[in-house]
Amino acid sequence: MTDEPTIDAKENRLSPAVVLMGLAVAAFAIGLCVNPCTVNDLFWQLRTGAAILTTHALPHQDTYSYASGRPWVLHEWLAFVLYAVLYRVGGFPAIWLMTALLVAATFVIVFVSSSREARSPMVGLMLTMLALMTSARFFGPRPQLFTYLALATLIAVALAARRGRPKLVFAALPLFPIWINFHAGAIPGVAFLAIFAICDAAEGRFRPGLADDERAHMLASARTFGVTAAIAALLTLATPYSWHTHQNLLATIGNPVAMNLVGEWLSPDFHSEFGQLLEIYLFLTALAMGLSKERRSFADIALLLLLVHEALGANRNVPLLAIAGTPLLARHAMSALSRFMTRSKDAPALFGPSLPAPVGAILLATSVLLAAVLSQSVVSAVAPGARMSLQSVAATSFQLSAFPSGASAFLERERFPTTMRLWNKYDDGGYLIWRLPEYKVLSDGRADVYFGRQLDDVARLNALCYDWQRILDTYGCDVVMISAQQKQARVFMGSPEWALVYVDRTQLDDPNFHLSNNLILVRRDPAHAALIAQCRRDCPAVGVLAQTDMAKDFPAFR
């Protein structure tokens, strides 16, 4: 509940200018989706979705790792089925197109909601564009996209309900049984509703200076939000995994090894471009809240503090701050901005509640042009000479050339026994599950499946521990597939117990992370001697490396 009057029906209608500005947001969002991002989980998700479609059953136990066989809570199963269907229909371009449309829809909702909260389409547009750029790092084919869209919708409905029609919040309930089967982000969604309820109840009871009718209305609103939160919590059990989805989420965020092993769970790096954009967003948030002449509701303060805390704790939570925080911030941003504005009665206010359609048209044309230039520059940088098409855009955005396709094909061509145990790079595990289904992996992006000793060992290997050979012996690893850019590669190649049998390219120090350069090493064992000799005959690049000076320092070349 706020001090401002309820927006009337006329103001609720979307003007031509606002429609054009919404299209500008969508165009810019789609352009930002042409961005190289890590999609190592997409591959095992594709295989899993295809398996569900084939068997008409959900997995409850891991079958992809030779060292696991543990219970598996597949709370994002509906997203994987959708990925598999899209891949069958149109391959990776279809999945990219879905990604772009989900992102566009999410931020159009953020724009409309922010514009109504600020009573200014221009302020809504500016804040949404900043939110887009702050979140762009995570615009990839991931189940979190469904949480982005659902969260934007939930916040829009909740804020509309708090503008004078509390029962409108019940319209958000159908989201939850769908949302929980796409992503466990539905559980924090319940927490958002509960925070609105608790804060409005506290404000209605304890805030001094409220009129009696406003106090009564706020308490009634709190009850309505509380009932909605309770029903939504029950609806999050409408999944084949029931309460195990909640248990899985708590286990994940409470596991320190996973938090330090997976990059998106690390805190933002403020030396990076991503961190600097977040810094700008946080600065403007503090400025708007500090200078706002509007009443700062308990819910606004509590939710923004929570979102900022979570964003500073983990990279992956930054988009949640941008999506949910922007509409919460919009009213205060407009109020702070009004301190510095002078309006002329003879000219339309650029930051007013309505804009001429030509302004929207200009913004749309500018956004489309900027999105096209950004997309072309990214594709040209990653794949020089590539023609702009959905295929090249998807290949660039998903960094398909960075995965071990050559090494996987070599493994198949040389007929490596499927009984051999593979040590693989953590980030490549998902690709190998999809590309080489007959081979088991040691680990992949499903960190929750490996909680315990197995995930601890993977993390220790990544940290170049002294007893790395003992860990490999524990799991009986016969084959190593690893990127030449990884530090662990030097450890393996420096050991006389391992023989290099394949390399994508002889330029091992090539810094191009967009292009795969993978190695395959085989344990020197009499049973593997024939395989080692055969592979070295069939991979001339290994022979070239054996003739270089590096062979003196790395026994694996010999």
Residue 14: per-residue pLDDT: 77
Q: What average pLDDT score do residues 67-82 get?
A: 90
Residue 343 scores a pLDDT above 60: no
Give 166-214 pLDDT, tens digit per residue. 899 999 999 999 999 999 999 999 999 999 999 999 998 888 888 888 8
Q: What average pLDDT score do residues 59-73 get?
A: 87
* Contacting residues for 403 by C-beta, under 8 A, at least 6 apart: 40, 43, 428, 431, 435, 516
Give 213-226 pLDDT, tens digit per residue. 888 888 999 999 99
CA distance 95 to 82: 9
* Contacting residues for 375 by C-beta, under 8 A, at least 6 apart: 31, 34, 388, 393
Is residue 500 helix, strand or coil? strand
Give domain limits for the chain: 9-32+73-360, 403-557
Q: What is the DSSP string of 22-46?
A: HHHHHHHHHHHTSS----HHHHHHH
CA distance 394 to 543: 35
Residue 13: per-residue pLDDT: 66
Closest to 63 (Cα-Cα) out of 440, 434, 428: 440
Residue 122: per-residue pLDDT: 94
